[in-house]
Each structure stands twice: as structure tokens, then as C-alpha cells.
Structure 1
Amino acid sequence: MSKGSTSIPIFLLCNYNDCTFAIKIDRNVTYDQLLDKLCLKWDSLQFDNICLSYSLLGHPSCTLDNNEELELLLALVVHFDSKCTDVVVRGKNSTIDYGNLNKRLDYGEKESMLELEVCDIALSHDNNKSVNLSNRASTSSNKNSRLEVEEKKFEGVIVEFRNALSKFSIECGFEFIFVKNDTVRVTAQCLFRETKCCMWNIHGRVKNANGFFYIRKLNNVHTSGAEVCTMNHSRMSSDLVADLIVKGVRDNALTRPVHVVQDFKWGYGLRVSYHQAWLGVEKTKGDIFGDYLMSFNQLRWYVDVAKSCNPRGYIEFECDDTKRFKILFVIFHDSISGFNYCRHLLFLDGTFFKGRLRGNLLAATRKDGNQGFFLVCFGIVGSENQDNWHWFLEHLSTIVLAERNITFVLDCNLGLVEVLPKVFPTAFRAYCLYHLKMNLRHHLCGIFHGLKEKMITLFGKCAYAPTEETFHQCLVELKIECGLRVEKFLDDIPYDHWSNAYFQGQRFGEIRSNVAESFNSWVRKECHLPITKLIDSVRIKLMRKIAKKRELVNK
């Protein structure tokens, strides 16, 4: 360590897995020696897999990776006149990582909450009552920008001010109550005004001329005692959570409440209940993506616009007798024209919606010339049953040329297996080998694991056998090993639907429905959205995919 650093020892409060360990260091301690002490304390840590970060006033996540940064830590401690500092210890592959927090929920810089872009007020603690205020519009271009005392306005109107005031009270560790709180004015005072004679108060109102909220009066001196920041605060609400995570949810529709709880704990040092996090996520999704119920009302309008913009496409929308949504079928013109020049092979599958309202997304996909998947059509139904599959396949038959012998690759869904021969009597059906193996594994429940895996391997050999003779040799071996349980399973699936030796159609080496599963993964985020937003998001992704292919062809 350089002599420019202090020789006065300081204490590092190292926290790992909710356990804190104090280490005394001075200018003679190196970074490697610090890691050695940590490894001796916690056996689960490895010397080359430790990631350290420390916190100082206004900066809760500073990196500590080498000797130079350790020197800087000592210098900063002297600058802030502190005798100790908190150090977070974690493995480099830990799931709780500030870098991961930024990817999952981009709350902005992991600085003091007053410095976050989402925190829109900073009230000075000086006795001269000076005040700096910032609003969301002003911080969008510069995170450190502030409005001077003469401005004191919030363009987000009164809701923005309430959220900013709550953030400020949480950051500074004091409590307040509203004396007046309506649609045009807000007056708040310290909770201990009566008991401790603290005269802190703030008052503001909406200006009729422009609709902005202006602070008219502020006494920013607290006399109620020391300010203490804790993990719990009465002003932490679902509305405040929603205001803080709005950018992260916009970037990632799969944001889960458990992630929000974890991120607030490790990023801000605040405890948020799961219910508050869930409500915050739902409110944010409603503001960004629209309300789930209203989305169904917008669906009829969206279908009419889509038909007018894509007249050569095929979109069908039906409601039941009570005018409630029943089913939707969508296929775009590019998918129709492209399918006529591709292999006679279609993959059928369905996936669940994961939003507030449940349903299923049925899809028919194919492979393109680069072995990638290409969406042919999709439908939205209430559940995956015979009637809905029959309706979906009937509309699919209107765009598939009757003279073409199509091969369908599908899982063993009972509704689909029964309906497909009725709509496409001349088509060939190939059952996905992966799903058959999963069904066999479930059928052999209770058998020794090693024997069960051997049975599944023999079943795969039967499916891949190129000739009938080889197929029956493998089949005899399979039945000898397991007996009646396998025979009962095989009786329900005809050989010509799953074995290469007996299959009559052309499936071009496709024995699994991986393409359909790839599509389900492709729309995984969209399945969390309201129905109208979901359809439009799939359309946009498909257009981008086609445009990208066109660019590759034109190079």
C-alpha cells in the first residue's frame, strides 16, 4: 500500500450469506491478504471466485477488486471521517449480483436513492432551509440535474410529488403525516410535531394555469432527533414500488415479484413484502402494456385494422352468445405464400398464457431453409381441447393446398390426436419421440431408475430402427425386459405414427417437435402480455424476423 494512505486502522464489516465478520486493516494489508482472511473465515469461498463491493455514504455499491481500489477505500474512509465500512462478499457466480440487478430491473445507478433517476426530490438538511428539487422530465437527460428553489415544480402533477416525498422520507429516515391531501393541494408535517415539537412541514398545490404541482412552503429543519434508516418504513407501498420499477418492467415483461423483493433488499436495503411487490408489478404492467380486461375490448378494433392493413392475410375472430371472446385465428400473407414453397411438414403445439387471464396459444410452425423455425399461423383459445383444435385446424385447412400430402409432427395430446384425422384425413401423423419417452417414463413409475432408463433407451432404438426387421428385434428385447406394462403402453400408439420403419409419409428426419418448442420459447415473454398487445408483439417479432432474412439474402 502506498504511504499516501492512512496508517490508522479501520474495520471492514464483511457480510456473506447474512453473516457479518469484522476485519481490521491498515495500509500494510494487501488485497490478497484480505481474501485469505475471508477464505479462512468461510470455507465455502474460493480465493479466485470472490467478488467484493463496499458502501459509503451515497454510494452503496463500490467495487473492490485489487490493491489500488483497496488504497482508494482507505482514502475514502478518511475523507468521510468513518471508522468502518460495510463490505458485501459473494461468489462471482452468485445469483444475487448488482450487475444482474441492472439487467433484470434497471432502477438506474445503485447510488443513494436521492441520486436515482427515479427519485425525484432532494431536500437539503441545512439550517438555511435551502431546497433543491428535481422532476422526472428534468432528470431524463441528466441524472444530476436539479431545479432551483425558484422553480419547485413537478410536471407529473400531484402523484409524482407524493411518490417523491415518500422516497425522500425513506432515504432520510423520518416519518410524516398528511394534514391536507386532495387532488389539488398537499400539506405534510412531521409525525412528532405534537410530542417532540418538530416543525418540519411542506405545502404545495396544483397551479391552474399549467396543471403543474408547485411547492409553496417548506420548513426543512428536523428537531425530533436523529434520523435512522431502517429496512422497514411505513411509506413503502405498492404505488412506490411500481414507480421505482417502471423502467425495469418495461424492459423485461417477465419481472417477477420475488425478484423485486430481492432487488430492493440488496440494492436499496429495504424490506418489501411479496404482496407489495406483486401489486407493484401488476400496476406497472397495467400502465405500460394496458389493462387485461380492456385489451379484450380493443381486440375487435385491432382485428378490423389488421384486416385492412393486411388484406391478403386471414384473420378470424369469434365471440360466444354473450359477446365474450371465444377464439381467434391469425395468419399473415407472407406466411401463406412462404408455406407453399416449403417442405410438406408442419409442427403443431400449444402453450399456456402466464398473465392474469388464462388461455392457450395454438401454433403451426415449419422449418425454413436454414433449419430455423418459421411461424405459419397461430390461434388464441380459452383451453386446449377437441373443439378448439378442430376449429383451429379447419381454418388452417383453408390455406393448405388440398393436393399436398402434409406430415404433421405433434405430441400425444388427446384432443389433437382425435381431431386431426377428421380435418386432414390424408395427412400423415408423426408423434414426437421426446413426448413419447416422457409418457413412457411416467407409465413406468415405480420401477427401479436404472431399469427405467434402459427401457426408454430401447424404446428410442425401436423408433430409430430403419427396417421392420431391426424394429421387431428391438421391440422383442424391450418387451422381454419390462413385459406387460410396456405392451399396454405400445397398444395405444400405432407403429406407423412413431417408428421410422413403419412411417408412410415424409418427415425429413424430424422425429421430435423441437421446432414447436422453439416457437414456445420465442414467445415466452409475450405470453405475459394482454391479448391485444400479445398479438401485436408476435406480429412485430415476425416482421423483424422476415426483414432480417431479407437482409441476409440481399447481401
Structure 2
Amino acid sequence: MVETSVQDLKPDQARELEEKMARIQESVAAPPILETARRVGRLMDGKISTLDEAMEALKAKMLRLTESADGLRGSTARKVVEVLSPSQSEGDMYSEMTARCTYMSETVMVFLDGTTRFADFFNEICMRFKGLKPGLFELKYSLPDYPSCALDSDLDMRLMFRSLAEFKRTSVDILVRICDFCANCVADGVQCSAAAAASSCVSVVSTVIDEPDYLGDFRPEDPKVYMSKQWREYIKCGDQKFRGGAVEFRQKLCMYAIEVGFVFVYVRNDKWRVIAECFNKLSEGCKWYINASLCPANNFFYIRQLNNVHTCSGVLRQQKHKLLSSTIVKTLINDEFRGNPSLKAHDIMDRLKNNYGLDITYRVAWKGKEKAMKELHGSDEDSYSMLT
């Protein structure tokens, strides 16, 4: 088995391995055989064994021992093959898997295997997403307990496959994200690592499409970065504090879920403790979980437990979100409403669409305006009570 599975063993190595495995088999078979031989002509267990009886017993035991020793030898050989021939055991690791690549609000599926090079995968991303400039974005993927793993080289590709095999996953979510430092590098005339990796993609495009006489100085527009991008940083790690207590924590948790693209449900929700789980926990067994509570010493809210990795398939930013409430709308328009109290509901809808990439109904926009007006001027009941 070893000789047929491991091709690069030298003759002396194979011979030495064979001798050691034979000694293993002998160590299993020898003690019971010697014990049977000692019983001949001796009084043991109230009976004297004859030579014929001992031979029959010895024959039966030898057959059983041979079978068990062969089994042990075969299992040992298989373990040796796994150690000496890692390429055999890594075959499953390099099987084909699916990468769900998300850029802004669009997701495409890409098939990968262990032979996929990073440059080829990078070129595929460039071609699949329209308006994406090579060198101005970075790739991130998530694993359990590791929500933001970098992907920018062939080594990272191999490590990603190995990690996915260890977690027994056949798919991975990859985030295509515009990075500010790449944009600064390009503006300063410096090529960063991501831009260098994309050079092959740039060269391919330049050799195929060369129409300056027809297109003039046309350049594809930069993808729009919405003001909600910073919401991704609202929930980061354990022990993170929120000075506004439970109210601030709930609102930032909702805004974080809107930007990342998932829905959660409250397990407990009061002014002392908030516990939330992913909406897909029951249907897909998603592990995302957060637990935050009040610190009586300073009345701040602190994240006590956080598993910020989604194992479900429902993480995708959308323009409409059920957690986008009128309270969040009020927070977003507060400053503008103070300078322009005549702001209409349709104006609010347009601003959230253009600045945040989010769609809300007329009712949500109107209620958000009413809450902003109440916070600025107070309620009618408060005004009447002041007059009386």
C-alpha cells in the first residue's frame, strides 16, 4: 500500500519501513502464541493440555491474530501514507468551491479550485463588476472567529482553501471593498500592492481595447461611496462602549445591520441588557450573536459577547431594509432640518436615496420628519402646558 501510494520513497526507505511494520505485527502476534505454547504438558486451569489440543488452539489463535495483525498493519500503512503523501490527503481541500463576491449592492458567483491563481481571480473580479477600477479595491473574506481576512496574493489563496477545508465549508463570502489608502496611493503617483497585483488586468484591457480616436478622454466613473459606509464600524469588538446607553446601542446596531446587509431579532431587549441573534439562526443555524449590558458605574452600555461572523447566506446590502425606521431617519436629517424646517417628506426620500443609497416609504419619511420637528420644537402638548 505504501509503495503504490507514496511514489518518492527510496528503496532503503521502503525496506526500513516494511521491517518496522513487520515488527509491529510480530509484537501483536508473539505474546498470545507463546502463551499457548507454554500450556503444553502443564496443569493450567485444572487441566493438562495435550500436544494435539495445544496445536489446534494454536492454529485457531494464529488465524485470528493474523487477521487482526493484518488489519493493524493496513491501518498503520494508511496513516503512514497520509503523513508521507500530503498531496493525497489535500485532494479534498483543493476541490471546487463557490465564492460569493459582493461589491456595493451586487453579488456574483465565481467558482474556485486549488489551482486558481490570485491574478486570474483578480481579473475575473475586474471583468464581472462594471465600473470597478483595478488597483483601487481590496478583497476580504470571513471565517468563524476571523471576520476580516485579507486576500491579495497566491499565498492568501492557498491559506483560504486550507482554512475552508478545516472548517468543512464549500463556499466563501468575499467582499470587494474600495480602500481609501489605494485611492491616495494612485493620487500621489505611487502604486500599492493591490494596484501591482492588478497590473495584469490593466495590461489585458489596454491591449484589447485601444480606441482613443473614438472615446477621447473618457474614463469610467468612480463607484459612488455612500455616507452609510461608516456604519460598518459601529459594531467592532467586545468591550466596545456606547455612552448613550441602550438607546444609542440599539440604533447603531440597526444601522450596522442595514449597511452590512442582514436582519436580527431581539432575544432580550430592555434598558439593562440587549441580546440579539441573526434572523437566520433557526432556518440556517447562523452563529451571529451579540450581548450588551449596562454598566451601573457610568451608565454606559458595553458589548459583553460578540460573534460577528455570519454562517448563513443572507448577508447582502439592500436598498430597502426593515430595520430602517423613522427614528433612524430622524437622526439622519436632524442637522439639515434645523437649517431647513420646511423640508418635505419627498425631499427626505430623495436625500436618503442619493446620499445613503437607501429607499424608504413616504410614511417613514413623514414620521421621521415629525420626530425631528418634535425634538426641535417640542410637542404640541408641551407648548400648550407652557402657555397655561
TM-score range, shorter chain: 0.3 to 0.5
Greater helix fraction, Structure 1 or Structure 2: 2
Q: What's the TM-score once normalised by structure 2's chain length? A: 0.44
Q: Which has the larger radius of gyration?
A: 2
Q: What's the TM-score once normalised by structure 1's chain length? A: 0.32
